[in-house]
Every structure is written in structure tokens, then in C-alpha cells.
Amino acid sequence: MMRGMFKVILLVTQLSDVKRLHYRMVNINGEKGCVQGVIYDHMASRFMATQGSCQDVNCIHYRGKTTIPFCCEITGYSCNEYIYNEADSTELCPAPSL
């Protein structure tokens, strides 16, 4: 009885969060890039990722895949130019000091 109840609770908690495609802008060895993966919304907030794909920010040059343990598989892309928005550009282009 307890085992069945545990399965029901586990199922309900899994249904409350949906896996979606998220991306995050990165800068690796001086190269502008983007990584994307299908992850839960709560995990995306921990990684400070934005919902959407790397193509949304003009990053289309495939660079490879890797797996983050206990999370997901991510795909990397390099970018020629970004389409900046405030959330993404603050990390890569800090404000000049006065």
C-alpha cells in the first residue's frame, strides 16, 4: 500500500514541472557561444537559463554535445553575433567602471 502511494506522489510531483528547451549564453576561451538542453523549469532557474533555443540568438554553428550528470544532455553552438537582450548581455559585457 505504501509503495503504491509513494509512486502516486512521485508521479504528481513530476507532472508539476515540464521539461522544455532552454539556452544560456557562454564565453569559452574567448569564443562567444550558447548551450542548450531540454531541462525542467526549476533546473533552468538554477542554471540561469532562458526558455528557447540557441537559434533564437543567432548561434547556429554546432560545436558538440556533453552530458551533465544527473541532469541532462546539452548541445553547444558558437555565435558570430548575438542578438542581445538585457538578461544575457550583462554577464558577457559588464558595464564600464567610472
27 domain residue, yes or no = yes
Question: What global pTM score does this model have?
Answer: 0.64
Task: Name the residue range of residue 31's domain.
Answer: 19-84
Report the SS3 class of residue 30. coil
More confident of the two residues 68 and 1: 68
More confident of the two residues 6 and 17: 17
Report the SS3 class of residue 23. strand
How far apart (Å, rounded) are the C-alpha atoms in residues 29 and 41? 28
Sign of CA dihedral 43, 48, 53, 59: negative
**Mean pLDDT within 28-56:** 91
Question: What local confidence, expressed as pLDDT, does residue 30 receive?
Answer: 84
28 domain residue, yes or no = yes
36 domain residue, yes or no = yes
Residue with cell 554535445: 65
Question: What local confidence, expressed as pLDDT, does residue 76 receive?
Answer: 93
69 domain residue, yes or no = yes
DSSP state of 36: E
Count of domains for the chain: 1
